[in-house]
A and B are shown apart, each in its own frame.
Chain A
Amino acid sequence: MTAALVTPSSDGLTAARERSRELRRPKPRRNITAHIFLVALILYFLLPLWWLFVASTKDPQGLFTGTGGALWFDKNFSLWANLQELFTYKGGIYLRWLGNSALYSLVGGVGATVLAVLAGYGFAKYRFKGRDFSFAILLGSVMVPLTALVIPTFMLMSQLHLTNTIWAVILPSLLSPFGVYLMRVYAADAIPDELLDAARVDGSGEFRTFLRVGLPLMRPAVVTVLLLSVVGTWNNYFLPLAVLSDQNLYPVTVGLGGWQALAASNNGGGTSLYTLIVVGSLVSIIPLIIAFLSLQKYWQGGLSLGALK
């Protein structure tokens, strides 16, 4: 998604380009086919979300033996009761999970972005021995599956006395090889060497040059990498599952996964967890959808201008 969207326009003809886009309206017949196609896509991609919303309004009996069918409401509308139960169950642990997710993804996302911006700028704007080799290692590292890392990472965290702390989740999430790749490609293109040289001639130090000249030019890519890293950390499941054992530290994905396991086990106890899982899933995806709604606006604006330089 980032890709071309952060590509700086090299021709500066964006306005003209937009005008010419407006001019070449497709023929109406094709328009109808295209719109039918789009409606089909919308139905397909939103169907599970619609189900999730409908299911969230049902009480346990409605969920299991309801009359409305899978895709329509039951006679009892208990969304509010479900939400209340969700936010109060086990002393409101769900809210805590949601807060943990926010904390991990913001700290991890911001940290990963800072590291990626610095490294991407370094790779793009400096020549040094071993640069291409280390960059190749960086890209190659994504080919080894992460399951290989769980035990060594756990041992490492144990040595540092970090298992079962927020750092066990945040520190590894600072790694974003793709972020570095993206920043390098973008910086190489968006920051003219002449500008950097001019700054240096004016006596600006290297880091100051980066802050004053490089960083502002990289801003669109920075926002994109930030969002990517935030989403990546928010959706993370197996790392926190492996390194956390205190459920007060769980992010919401691991917490819900735990409820699912509990609900499916022979030790269910007296509460119906399925309604909580369903309504908890619904609430947990809202923050990211809001973030993406705003991101979508950003794209619409950014893309129609050709670039955000």
Chain B
Amino acid sequence: MASTMKNLLAATSAGILLVALAACTPDVSSGTSTDSAAGGDAGSCSNTIVHPDAPQVSVWAWYPNINTVVDMFNKSHDNVQVCWSNAGQGGDEYAKFSTAIAAGTGAPDVIMLEAEVLPGFEIQNALVDLSQHGADKVKGNFSDGAWKDVSSGSSVYAIPVDGGPMAMIYRADIFKKYGIAIPTTWDEYAAAAQKLKDAGGPFMGDFGSNVPAWFTALMTQNGQTAWNYDSSNPQSIGIKLNDAGSQKVASYWQDLVSKKLVDTQDQFTTDYVAGLANGSYATYVSAAWAPGYLTGAGGAATGGAEWQVAPLPQWDASKPVSVNWGGSTFAVTTQAKDKDLSSTVAMELYASQEELQDGIDTQTIFPLNQQVLTSQSFADAPIAFFNGQKANGEVYIPAENAYPGYTYSPFTTYYYSELTKSMVSIIDGSKTGPQALDDLQSTMTEYAKSQGFTVK
């Protein structure tokens, strides 16, 4: 019996190994060319090196089309080659980066980071100030708002790649069926939600507890200036999360939730996507990357759904405020061996016309580079997801141009985790919106003090 067992196992394993070998063989050539890599510990490349003699810069990034972009970059640069690997998506990559910072080794030269986590890594001295390495050359490629997101005082900690100017995606077919006019203010949005419910229609939208960045953007739209922080004075921070404007926003959403006018499903889940696909929601208050996300997530683009996009509703239609949700950048780590060369890569990767066009075509990014944002072809491109609506020119580009930028705190992940708790308490009614924000204000103040900050 035992030997039968072993034979079976051996046969199974041999089969697997054969499969493995077959799978590995074609890649051997590209997988081992790491010796000359500038970031030795950061590992082998997942891409092909076109110019083996050029110095290499290691890059971590998770854009779905990054391999295409890297190939384009390497073909067009004979002075430097990118050695790319995907160290995980968002939090997974940050966890690895954090480990490498603690270990003092193992980080790549250039790393993709969302703008919101930049100060958190910067305060650990993990990021290079790119203003010392020629970042001003490319400043003009971006809007002031986008540049503010990656700067602190006179320092620059990353080069923006994509952003998420917010807008309201809506189902034109549902609006038509229930006679809803496109809301331009939040009051109109609430009234439309009530009208939908009274007519037995679907939810107007969704307030999910797992999108604290979304909620932060909406509070910012009503005048919240949460953080007063400058990396040139990193021991000191101002915190203001419970001003009157923010409290109004919190009460507003709690009201919609308690009247069951909006759902409280977590976003980015299959349930939420399915809900968008089957018409459970009339709107999706979201950012410029949302069409790509929904197309990729499957289902949402079909089934007779007529998606359109309109500008984000305003608190005061005469003084519109533009806000941003999401977006990513390239930063240079302090473990980079050649900081100048790495800075060059951070500035030039995903920045050429050709590379950006691939990002647009594959619906991977909403680029922040002005050469795209100002181009007529980008503005006039009909978007398939919106049934041919020229969404960029009509909605997203104006939103991005009006975006004033944001100052993030050096403990964004902790803040988001606490804000999520507040949002849960707003949803389940255990606290009123203003109460939740008051508690959040004191929690964050305590936290900042415990981390050694002077709270202004």
Binding site for B on A (CB under 8 A): 60-61, 63-65, 90-92, 95-96, 98-100, 102-103, 106, 150-151, 154-155, 158, 161, 163-164, 219-220, 223, 227, 241-242, 244-249, 257-258, 261-275, 287, 290-291, 294-295, 297-298, 301-302, 305, 308
Contact = CB atoms under 8 A, between A and B. Distances in A.
Contacts of A265: 89-90, 268, 293
Given A268-B292, A272-B298, A287-B12, A64 B19 contact: no
Contacts of A247: 46, 85-86
9 A-B pairs with least C-beta separation? A99-B20, A60-B298, A269-B64, A64-B299, A268-B296, A272-B298, A301-B1, A164-B43, A95-B23
B92 A266 contact: no
B103 A270 contact: no
Contacts of B452: none
Contacts of B5: 223, 294-295, 297-298
B199 interface: no
B102 A98 contact: no
Interface stretch (B150-158, B246-254, B271-279, B375-383): B271-279
B27 A96 contact: yes
B295 A270 contact: yes
B1 A297 contact: yes
B21 interface: yes
Contact of A248 (B44, B88, B295): B44
A248 B21 CA distance: 13
Interface string B75-91: 00000000001111111
Contact of A164 (B21, B22, B42): B42
A154 B106 contact: yes
Nearest to B15: A287
A65 B302 CA distance: 10
Given A261-B90, A274-B298, 18 more contacts: A64-B278, A90-B67, A100-B20, A103-B20, A150-B99, A151-B99, A245-B108, A249-B44, A258-B89, A266-B289, A266-B293, A267-B62, A267-B63, A267-B328, A270-B295, A270-B363, A274-B270, A287-B16
Q: Which residue among A95, A106, A270 has the maximum number of chain B CB atoms within 10 Å of its CB? A: A270
A102 B90 contact: no
A270 B293 CA distance: 8
Interface string B203-238: 000000000000000000000000000000000000
A267 to B, nearest CB: 6
Contact of A246 (B1, B43, B289): B43
A164 B362 contact: no
Nearest to B210: A264
Interface string B146-171: 00000000000000000010000000
A267 B65 CA distance: 10
A297 B86 CA distance: 41
Contacts of B44: 164, 246, 248-249
Contacts of A295: 5
Given A61-B302, A161-B41, A294-B5, A98 B87 contact: no
Q: Which residue among A151, A164, A262, A269 has the maximum number of chain B CB atoms within 10 Å of its CB? A: A269
B342 interface: no
A248 B299 CA distance: 30
Nearest to A109: B13
B64 A158 contact: no
A275 B16 contact: no
Contacts of B268: 264-266
Contacts of B41: 158, 161, 163-164
B299 A99 contact: no
Given A158-B41, A287-B12, A99 B23 contact: yes
Q: Which residue among A91, A155, A161, A164 has the maximum number of chain B CB atoms within 10 Å of its CB? A: A164
Interface of B: 1-2, 4-6, 8-9, 12-13, 16-17, 19-24, 26-27, 31, 40-46, 60, 62-65, 67, 85-92, 95-96, 99-100, 102-106, 108, 164, 268-270, 273-274, 277-278, 287, 289-290, 292-293, 295-300, 302-303, 326, 328, 362-365
Contacts of A268: 64, 292-293, 295-297
Contact of B299 (A65, A290, A308): A65
A61 B296 contact: no
Contact of A269 (B20, B42, B102, B296): B296
A108 B93 CA distance: 26
27 contacts: A64-B277, A64-B278, A64-B300, A98-B23, A99-B17, A103-B17, A161-B41, A163-B41, A246-B87, A247-B46, A247-B85, A258-B88, A261-B92, A262-B64, A266-B268, A267-B89, A267-B292, A267-B293, A270-B362, A287-B16, A291-B9, A294-B8, A297-B4, A301-B1, A302-B2, A305-B1, A308-B2
B64 A271 contact: yes
Contact of A302 (B1, B17, B63, B105): B1
Contacts of A249: 43-44
B303 A242 contact: no
A294 B12 contact: yes
A130 B22 CA distance: 49
Given A99-B16, A151-B102, A273-B296, A64 B273 contact: yes
Contacts of A91: 26-27
B429 to A, nearest CB: 27
A30 to B, nearest CB: 31
B106 A98 contact: no
B362 A262 contact: no
Contacts of A99: 16-17, 19-21, 23-24
A242 B296 CA distance: 28
B292 A270 contact: yes
Nearest to A60: B298
A268 B104 CA distance: 32
B99 to A, nearest CB: 5
Contacts of B13: 102, 106
B1 A262 contact: no
Nearest to B97: A245
A99 B28 CA distance: 14
A241 B27 contact: no
Contact of A98 (B8, B9, B16, B65): B16
A258 to B, nearest CB: 6
Contacts of B67: 90
Contact of A241 (B23, B88, B269, B287): B88
Contacts of A151: 99, 102-103
A291 B8 CA distance: 8
Contact of A266 (B16, B26, B290): B290
B105 to A, nearest CB: 4
A308 B1 contact: yes
Contact of B298 (A95, A98, A275, A308): A275
A222 to B, nearest CB: 10
